[in-house]
Amino acid sequence: MCSGRVDLEFVLRAFSNGMDGLLIGGCRLNECNYITHGNYHALTMVLLCRKIMEHIGLNPERLRIEFMSSAEGNRFAEVMGEFGNEVKELGPLGKGKGEGIDQNELKSKLAEITKLVPYIKLVKNEKLASRLKNPEEYDKLFTKDEIDKLFSEVISYYIDPEKCQACMTCAKRCPAEAIISAKNQIHVIDQEKCIKCGTCFEVCPPKFRAVTKISGEPVPPPIPEEKRTIVRKGKEK
């Protein structure tokens, strides 16, 4: 499998399942057998993930990427042995030097970030598509302040019950089926399912403008189900 297909979610899932370290091996840069150069995508994903790991208190050295050809068996064996020893020195995930994270807390943090993966990739799409050719560029691609801001200003979407006309447009276009809707019923976004792609915000008819973008603040609670029915003027008793 091309290293470019190793998704950020796969890495987070591995750590969530208790892996103490993760090594991703890819073809040498600029030696792609195809035209995808997926190893560059893998590289930027790893650099982003390492910064995210720092953000939640994990040692980023637990995640590593190496580029080598299929003919470099000796090189592969050396890297595996070296990385294995490094992970042993780091100790169990979350309990290593400088970590000290409760396992339940760690699982919760990883689950929360995993849920945000579509949003993270959307926001950082331009940088994730970068082709870094000089190792000196690696540490500069994503900064600590940038990652802190990414999570402190997470975008959420909310449907204003005073403006929603139950036109079904957002519900039909939502790729995650995260909008609870029915005919003549005020729509509600299920925040647990929402991937924060912004589709609902973009497709909501301008004459309604019912979808609101919220940054870094809690989303208002959904309107109770028994109060979601819209009574049209022509049908009022």
Query: What confidence tens digit (pLDDT) does each residue in 127-161 have?
Result: 999 999 899 999 999 999 999 999 999 999 999 99
Quote the number of domains for the chain: 2
Statement to judge: residues 139 and 165 lie in one domain: no
Statement to judge: residues 21 and 71 lie in one domain: yes
Statement to judge: residues 89 and 170 lie in one domain: no
Domain residue limits at 130: 3-152
Statement to judge: residues 171 and 136 lie in one domain: no
pLDDT, tens digit, 9 for 90 and up, residues 188-224: 999 999 999 999 999 999 999 999 999 989 999 999 9
Choosing from 99, 130, 152, the residue where a domain stops is 152
pLDDT, tens digit, 9 for 90 and up, residues 11-21: 999 999 999 99
Q: Which two tokens stand for residue 131?
A: 């082709």
The pLDDT of residue 1 is 76
Which residues contact residue 80 at a Cβ distance below 8 angstroms, ignoring those fewer than 6 apart?
23
Choosing from 129, 152, 175, the residue where a domain stops is 152
The bridge status of strand 185-189 relative to strand 155-159 is unpaired
Statement to judge: residues 111 and 160 lie in one domain: no
- β-partners of residue 17 are none
The structure's pTM equals: 0.85
Choosing from 136, 152, 168, the residue where a domain stops is 152
CB 196 within 8 A of CB 123: no
Statement to judge: residues 11 and 78 lie in one domain: yes
- β-partners of residue 63 are 22
